[in-house]
Amino acid sequence: MPLNEAERYHPSNLTEDEQREATRALYGFAGEHMNNPNPTDLTYEERVKMRRLLDEADQKDAANGMREFDLNRPPAPPYVYREYPRLLYNHVTKQNKPAHTYEQHQAMLAQGWTEEPITPEPVEVRLTAQEQEEAEAIDKQLVKKGKK
């Protein structure tokens, strides 16, 4: 027998009136309207009170309960702008260094650091005579395809 199945059904030993009163007690209406045979025949005030109780319970469940999300896109904290640290560059020594505060930023600027990044120098590639001929042949083929 699976663990999640009861061995047999155990019916309630409460009478119908006692079950009705137990239901009312769950929603905070115990002792009120004992002579009302139908638990759905509630007054307007009772319905408003029940809605308020259910709204509070829903809010608690929403705050504490499980939320669905996509495993491929897990929830991320919202972006918060922070001005520092800023990265400053020294073009003479080819270094970069972060400034963590406004005062440190101003001191580094006074020492010759700049906010503009270092531009890399273009790399000169020397081709052999055979590689140069191959490159010219490829260039000619590209020009032919571009004219069509």
Of 99, 84, 94, whose CA–CA distance to 117 is shortest? 94
Provide the domain limits for residue 32. 16-52
Chosen domain end from 34, 52, 70: 52
* pTM confidence score: 0.36
Would you say residue 143 lies in a domain? no
CB 88 within 8 A of CB 113: yes
Would you say residue 105 lies in a domain? yes
Residue 112: the pLDDT is 92
CB 120 within 8 A of CB 91: no
Per-residue pLDDT of the chain in tens (148 residues, 90 and over written 9): 456 666 776 777 888 888 888 888 877 776 655 555 565 677 888 888 888 988 888 887 776 666 677 888 888 889 999 999 999 999 999 899 999 999 999 999 999 999 999 888 888 888 899 999 999 999 988 877 655 5
Q: How many domains does the chain have?
A: 2
Residue 71: the pLDDT is 84
